Amino acid sequence: MSRIPAPQLMESNWTAEQQDLARATRLYYNGSGAKIAAGSAVVQDLSISTATAALGQAIKKDTTADSPGFIGVVDVDIPNLTWGMVVVQGTKTLALAEAGIAAGDLVQKSGVAGTLEKAFATTERAVGRALTATASGSITVVLFGAGN
């Protein structure tokens, strides 16, 4: 059995091309009833299973902190009832985040819909590492690939 290599954390001196190679996006369906803004942390929406989107292909924002259903961070606004790209691994700039995150902190899905927060305990589900401190409600984050 072959092993999938663990994602590497990006170095601060990596070129934009190197960062893009380590970044993975996936296509997901927004049937949440409203637009999901770029930078929003999203989870699987298991309430949707239609001809448009099979079970497991839909996303939503929710208020469950440390959610096991975390998929990734929305790359560009996804209007309701359309498909859009979600960053599931690698760097995402302008990810919505709560105050108090410092560069280097592990982050998790917060209890505020669509945002990330600092992961305080080792038992929490860290989904990435902050590359920047919280500024104006967002961070640059490296996602570990929880949504793959």
Burial class (CB in 10 A: 0-12, 13-18, 19+), 104: exposed
Sequence-ordered list of residues with C-beta below 8 angstroms from that of 11, at least 6 positions apart, any chain: none
pLDDT at 124: 79
Residue 2 lies in a domain: no
Residue 77 lies in a domain: yes
CA 64 – CA 77 distance, rounded (Å): 21
Q: Nearest Cα to 78, choosing from 24, 114, 127? A: 114
Pair 71, 146: CB distance under 8 Å? yes
Residue 64 lies in a domain: yes
Residue 30 lies in a domain: yes
Total of domains in the chain: 1
| pLDDT digits 0-9 by tens, 60-77 | 999 988 888 899 999 999
Residue 114 lies in a domain: yes
Pair 140, 116: CB distance under 8 Å? no
Residue 8 lies in a domain: no
pLDDT at 98 over 70: yes
Q: Point out the least confidently predicted range of 3-7, 68-72, 122-126, 128-132.
A: 3-7
pLDDT at 39: 97
Neighbours of 132 (CB within 10 A): 17
Residue 11 lies in a domain: no
Q: Which domain holds residue 117?
A: 21-143
Tell me, what CATH number does 30's domain have? 2.40.300
Tokens 């599931």 belong to: 88
Residue 126 lies in a domain: yes
